[in-house]
């Protein structure tokens, strides 16, 4: 009896633990209010970020809206147009310690060309942002531009599909990709962006995201593994590496230095020219020069004579005339035709036609065919 009671108690405890681990649908974490931190913050925190020159006009226009949005959380914001920087800092009334981090993310997104209407969503509790640096992932500039354009897609279709599947706002600007949305969506956006820069087309990741979204709707499949449903794409590198025309073969390593090349004196000593007189040496040199000149003259003469050599003519092809085929005349058929013509002219009664010969029937068959 005791063992049965212990087993029942264990089952109940495990059931309670599983219930505690699962988050109910539609549950939201309660917001952080002033009652949670009535005394405020002890120290003042501040963050600053620079912005490019082309963003100056837009930031100057929308800065009152930024100050108003940050004023709700008691955070002070300042814009320095001379230095080209934005600064946010806490005040004595600030009660939320994480509000300064959200304000820092807000000015970062504004500096990366994200519009204020989208960037202000970062102040919500269930929102986060991720700025992905893609400038150093590809060395070749042309290849980098092509892959970045592949991420955007024709008329921004690929980027729009990614936004719909991840519930995130994605902004591709220069060497960075700014993403704003829930934590799960940001993780997927980062994976897609990094894979695109590694020469994996974003359509493959978009397809897997579409399948995952359909599978998540089924409550029975939430606990099971989705590997059997997800497609497996193999990376095929079809383009072979171009091999160099001249392959340099590495020589075997030897600790000894290469032998010293022979000097002009060493060569003369080896041949015996060193011991000859000056007059004999000059005579030999002159002879060598004359031989070289004679060879050059003969080559030039041969090149000149080539123009006078007539080209080889092609032999004329004789036209082969086909012998005319002997036309075989059928005498009996001609006789029949003459008889018929005579009877028609004289007005005599028609004579019973003679049975056709084998040759006439053969000719008629040939004509029909």
Write the CATH number for 77: 3.30.1370.10
Q: Both 228 and 135 in a single domain? A: yes
Mean pLDDT of 84-112: 93
> Would you say the pTM of this structure is higher than 0.95?
no
Residues 158-178 have pLDDT tens digits of 999 999 999 999 999 989 999
Going from the C-alpha of 307 to that of each of 121, 297, 301, 302, the distances in angstroms are 86, 16, 11, 9
Residues 267-276 have pLDDT tens digits of 888 888 888 8
Q: Both 220 and 155 in a single domain? A: yes
Q: What is the spatial distance between Cα 94 and Cα 43, in angstroms, rounded to a whole number?
A: 11
Bridge-based pairing state of the strands 85-90 and 75-80: antiparallel
Contacts of 109 (CB under 8 A, 6+ apart): 118, 119, 122, 129, 131, 178, 180
Q: What is the spatial distance between Cα 62 and Cα 303, in angstroms, rounded to a whole number?
A: 83
Domain with 272 in it: 265-301
Question: Is residue 334 in some structural domain?
Answer: no
User: H/E element holding 173?
Assistant: strand 169-173
Q: What's the gap between Cα 261 and its chain centre?
A: 53
Q: Both 135 and 167 in a single domain? A: yes
Residue appearing with tokens 């946010």: 88
State both tokens at 158. Answer: 């690929």
Confidence band, pLDDT 50/70/90 cuts, at residue 11: very low
Q: Both 115 and 150 in a single domain? A: no
Beta strands in 51-113 (DSSP E): 75-80, 85-90
Residue appearing with tokens 């997800």: 230
Q: What's the gap between Cα 65 and its chain centre?
A: 41
Q: Both 215 and 294 in a single domain? A: no
Question: Is residue 359 in some structural domain?
Answer: no
Question: Domain tally for the chain?
Answer: 3
Domain end (from 125, 142, 173) = 125
Q: What is the spatial distance between Cα 315 and Cα 61, in angstroms, rounded to a whole number?
A: 91
Question: Is residue 98 in some structural domain?
Answer: yes
Q: Both 132 and 227 in a single domain? A: yes
Residues 31-82 have pLDDT tens digits of 888 888 888 888 899 999 999 999 999 999 999 999 999 999 899 999 999 9
Q: Both 209 and 286 in a single domain? A: no
Question: Is residue 29 in some structural domain?
Answer: no
Q: Both 150 and 221 in a single domain? A: yes
**pLDDT(305) > 80:** yes
């Amino acid at each position: 009896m005791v063992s049965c009671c212990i087993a029942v108690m264990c089952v109940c405890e495990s059931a309670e633990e599983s219930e505690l681990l699962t988050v109910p649908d539609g549950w939201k974490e309660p917001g952080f209010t002033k009652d949670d931190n009535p005394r405020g913050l002890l120290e003042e925190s501040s963050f600053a970020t620079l912005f490019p020159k082309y963003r100056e006009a837009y930031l100057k226009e929308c800065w009152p809206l930024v100050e108003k949005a940050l004023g709700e959380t008691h955070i002070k914001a300042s814009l320095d147009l001379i230095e080209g920087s934005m600064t946010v800092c806490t005040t004595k009334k600030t009660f939320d310690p994480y509000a300064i981090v959200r304000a820092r993310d807000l000015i970062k997104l504004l500096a990366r060309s994200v519009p204020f209407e989208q960037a202000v969503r970062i102040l919500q509790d269930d929102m986060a942002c991720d700025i992905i640096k893609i400038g150093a992932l590809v060395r070749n500039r042309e290849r980098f531009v092509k892959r970045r354009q592949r991420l955007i897609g024709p008329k921004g279709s690929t980027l729009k599909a990614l936004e719909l599947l991840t519930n995130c706002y994605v902004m591709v600007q220069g060497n960075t990709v700014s993403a704003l949305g829930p934590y799960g969506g940001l993780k997927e956006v980062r994976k897609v962006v990094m894979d695109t820069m590694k020469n994996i087309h974003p359509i493959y990741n978009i397809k897997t995201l579409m399948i995952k979204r359909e599978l998540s709707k089924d409550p029975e499949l939430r606990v099971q593994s989705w590997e059997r449903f997800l497609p497996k794409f193999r990376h095929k590198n079809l383009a072979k590496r171009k091999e160099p025309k001249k392959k340099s073969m590495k020589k075997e390593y030897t600790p000894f230095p290469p032998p010293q090349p022979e000097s002009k004196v060493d060569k003369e000593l080896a041949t015996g020219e060193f011991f000859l007189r000056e007059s004999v040496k000059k005579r030999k040199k002159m002879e060598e020069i004359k031989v070289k000149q004679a060879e050059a003259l003969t080559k030039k003469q041969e090149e000149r004579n080539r123009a006078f050599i007539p080209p080889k003519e092609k032999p004329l092809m004789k036209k082969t005339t086909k012998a005319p085929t002997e036309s075989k005349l059928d005498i009996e058929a001609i006789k029949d035709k003459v008889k018929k013509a005579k009877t028609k002219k004289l007005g005599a009664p028609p004579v019973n036609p003679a049975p056709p010969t084998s040759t006439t029937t053969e000719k008629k068959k040939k004509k029909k065919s």
